[in-house]
Structure formats: C-alpha cells, structure tokens
Structure 1
Amino acid sequence: MVWSVYVLVNWGLASVVVVEESSWGYEPLRGSANLVRGKRWVALSLLLCFQFLTAVLMNSRSALAGWLGGDGSSGWRGWAFVVQIVVTAALGMWLMLHSIAANTVFYIYCKAMHGELALEIAHGEYISLPLDDEKPLHLASVIQTR
C-alpha cells in the first residue's frame, strides 16, 4: 500500500511529461520523479484530494438513486437510473478535467522550481498570446528560491 502511494506520487506527472516533452517509455517516469523531488507533499495532497473526491462521487451514486425515488427493481429502464448515470458521468468528467488541470499547473510549478522553465522561456519555447490588444503585455519573471 505504502509502496503504491509512493509510486503514484513520483509518477503523477508522467502524463503531463508525455504530452509536454513528447517523450515515451521510461523517460516520462524518470522526468516525473525528478520534477516531483522536493515537492512530494504537494503531489501527495493533490493525489489524495482527487482520489477522495472520486471516492465520494462513486459512493454517492446509490444515495442519488434513493433520493430520486428509484427502488432498483426496474433496472436499466428506470428514469432514476438514467439520471444517476448522467449526473455521475458529468461530475466524474468535471473532476477528471480539474485533476488534469491541477497536474498541468503543478508540472509548470515544478519546472519553475527546478529552474527549467526560465531556460525554456529564454529559448522562446513559450510565447505570449495577445488576448486583449488594449491592455499592455506583462512579462512573467521566474524567481528561483533555495
């Protein structure tokens, strides 16, 4: 149990590393473990938060069906079952999208903390998009603390 949590924490950013750095195989796993180094408590809290919310969502399915008045005897044909599936799927998708966004922000944060983001900004790998032409552009500076 402890070993699996350790692996999940170290490899939590592997999916973001695969997309962002276009690597495959063991390289994203090593990259994720290197990025998470020093911020394992943050990675653990993200993992526990989203796993807890997923568990609450999955356990609340039956409570939702009971609240809607479904007794379970009609099976697939009951309207309560359909509403339960639609609500659970919508909330599950919302939770999954927020988890992906949180992992991506955590990836950028870890890159900045390890000093890798400043190099990518300097080499022009990150560009600013003109979202509002009337407002002046602001440059972000990365400050590395030790």
Structure 2
Amino acid sequence: MDREQEEMQFLGLSGIFKESFKIIISWRKIFTQITLTLILPLAFIFLAHLEISNSLFRDIKHTEFEQEVTRPGTKRYNKLSDTLSSEWINFILFKVAYFTILLILSLLSTAAVVYTIASVYTGRELTFIKVMSVVPKVWKRLMVTFLCMFAAIFVYNFIAILIFIIFLVILPYNAFGVVILYVLLIIYVIGFAYMTVIWQLASVVSVLESSYGIKAMTKTKDLIKGNQAIAISTFFLLNMSFILIQFLFDGLVVHGSSFDAWKRIGFGVLCLILLLCLFLFGLVIQTILYLVCKSYHHENIDKAGLSDHLESYLGEYEPLSGKDVQLEQYHV
C-alpha cells in the first residue's frame, strides 16, 4: 500500500473504491488464488441455491395444487400429503445446508482477504499457503463475532416488528397513517444498514485486533463515528450491486425459460463472474474502510505490533492483550 495511514482519513467514497481496486491489481496473483479457492465456490453456491430453491418450491406448489383438486380421504390424497411433507422436509434441509456452507465460506473468505491486506500493509512476506494456514484459526474468532451480531440483528428485527404492529393498530387508516409507516420504514432501513456496517467492520476488527464478539462490535461502533455516511453509502452501493446481480440471474437464468439452454448458461456464467468480483471487491473495501476510520480518529496502527499479531496466527494461538496490537495516537 502506497499511502501512509495519516493520509487514509482523506479518502472519500471514490477514494476508497480506487484504493481497493489498486490493491487488488497490485497483488492480483494472491487475490486470484483466494478468489478461485474460496470466493468462487461462495458465489457459485449462492447462485446455484437460487435455481435449486426455485425448482424445489415449484414442485411443492405443484403438489399442493394436485392435493387441492383431489378429494380428501382418498388414497391419492394421502399419497400427495406424504409427498408434500417429504418435499417440505427436503426444502428445509437444503436451506439449512446452504446457509451453513455459505456462512463457512463467507467467514473463510473474510479471514483470507483481511489477513492478506494486513500482511501487505505491514510488509510481511506473503504466500497463498501461509494465508490458507491462517484462515481456519481466524475463522473461529469471526464465528463468535457473527453469532453476537446475528443475535443483535434478531433482537433489532423483533423489536421493529413489534413497533410496526403497534403503529398499525393505533394509526388511523388515512394518508397521515401511511406517511408515518413510511417514515418508520425509512428509519428501520437506515438502522439495519448501520448494523450491517457494524457487522462487516467488526469482522475486520476480529482479525486485526485482539477483540472479537461483543467487544469487536463495541469497538466498531466507536470506530465509525464521524464516518457513518461514507460507511453506509459504501455498503449501500455494494448491496445494490448485489441485488442487481441477483435480479439479473433470477430473471435471465432461473425464470429465463424463453431463452435457449446456451444463452441461459452464458447469462449464468456472466452473473457468476460479476458476483465473485463483487464479493472480492467488497471484502477489500471493508478492510480499507477500517483503515480510513482508524486514520480519521488519529489512531496510528503500530505495524510491528500488528505484524506480531498476525504472526501469532501461524503458531499456537494465544489471546493477545490490548497493547499487542494497540493503536498509537498521532497528532496532525
């Protein structure tokens, strides 16, 4: 990385994107290896699940329709009931397996990319084998942070649903009531985007610092103060790009029956390439955003301490104290 950390605070939205792109190009060999090993399976599984889920759900709807037009109590009706139960079980088991594999690959990809950028930043010798040997150890810390963040988002959504239900009951059925509901929806979306940013940056903190879980979330909350707009805008653009790719795949491949097989395969490959590029770009961006936030708060990362922290992953991991990777204050 060519920039000194003191300069990182001046990077705006476009600057963060340019710096991320520059790092990927400069270290394209190692990032290509990470992409092919971890991110490509992640993107493929995500897109494949859309196609498989649609197929399984279509079978369920067909069986339900057949059951509706069949007289209850007949042998055929009972057979359709058994088939429907079996199809629902298969659908649920598939979803559980999908989310489990997706979570594992997502956390492994995050660990690999964040560790790689930190190694580049500290000038450490970097090889693909070294990165892959570290990833399983970092993954454990990321899992704890994920579970804590998942619980926080679950509580947030539960409270939001209660508030919406209460307002639906007490608000009048007129234009004023509709406006209030839209305002509540906007507030909810902003809050959810903020929590998503906390989640993403807490993952970086879990790799680069001694904190993880709730401590990493608390640190991240303080870290993005003053940069909420840039952070939310960054992840908003990434999520909109993700939704667009999903929409294209759903329309051109999953429901693209009007196209011949080769066109659907071509569209599928295109969406796969776009998605894996987006995943890689997003992981690099969240690490760069971490450095920008540190620089904004005038917290200079001690490269020697960070290097020691990264080195600890290569041996038997021992929890580090705050000073091991602590950030030194610098004055501007």
> Given the alignment, which residue of 94, 102, 125 partners 2:277?
94
Contiguous gaps of at least 5 residues in structure 2: 1-187, 308-328
Aligned pairs, number: 121
Cα distance in 2 for partners of 1:30, 1:87 equals 39
- Given residue 237 of structure 2, which amino acid in structure 1 is its aligned partner? C
Cα distance in 2 for partners of 1:18, 1:116 equals 17
- 2:108 is the counterpart of 1:108: no
- Given residue 298 of structure 2, which amino acid in structure 1 is its aligned partner? G
Cα distance in 2 for partners of 1:62, 1:25 equals 35
> Given the alignment, which residue of 190, 197, 200 partners 1:12?
200
Cα distance in 2 for partners of 1:143, 1:24 equals 25
Larger helix proportion of the pair:
2
Query: Matches of residues 1-146 of structure 1 in structure 2 within 5 Å?
Result: 1=188, 2-61=190-249, 64=252, 71=258, 78-118=261-301, 120-121=302-303, 124-125=304-305
Contiguous gaps of at least 5 residues in structure 1: 128-141
The structure whose Rg is larger is 2
Cα distance in 1 for partners of 2:214, 2:271 equals 34
Cα distance in 2 for partners of 1:3, 1:62 equals 28
Q: Would the aligned equivalents of 2:206 and 2:216 in 1 still touch at CA under 8 Å?
A: yes
Q: Would the aligned equivalents of 1:36 and 1:110 in 2 still touch at CA under 8 Å?
A: yes
- How far residue 43 of structure 1 moved from its aligned partner, in angstroms, is 0.5
Q: Against the structure 1 CA distance between its residues 23 and 82, is the aligned structure 2 distance closer, same or farther, given a 3 Å change threshold?
A: farther
- How far residue 143 of structure 1 moved from its aligned partner, in angstroms, is 7.0
Q: RCO greater where, 1 or 2, for CA within 8 Å and sep 6 or more?
A: 2
Q: For 1:12, what is the secondary structure of its paired residue? A: helix
- How far residue 103 of structure 1 moved from its aligned partner, in angstroms, is 0.8
- How far residue 63 of structure 1 moved from its aligned partner, in angstroms, is 5.6
Q: Against the structure 1 CA distance between its residues 113 and 63, is the aligned structure 2 distance closer, same or farther, given a 3 Å change threshold?
A: same
Q: Would the aligned equivalents of 1:35 and 1:114 in 2 still touch at CA under 8 Å?
A: yes
Q: For 1:13, what is the secondary structure of its paired residue? A: helix
Q: Would the aligned equivalents of 2:202 and 2:212 in 1 still touch at CA under 8 Å?
A: no
- Given residue 23 of structure 1, which amino acid in structure 2 is its aligned partner? S
Cα distance in 2 for partners of 1:24, 1:4 equals 21
Q: For 2:258, what is the secondary structure of its paired residue? A: coil
- Given residue 32 of structure 1, which amino acid in structure 2 is its aligned partner? T
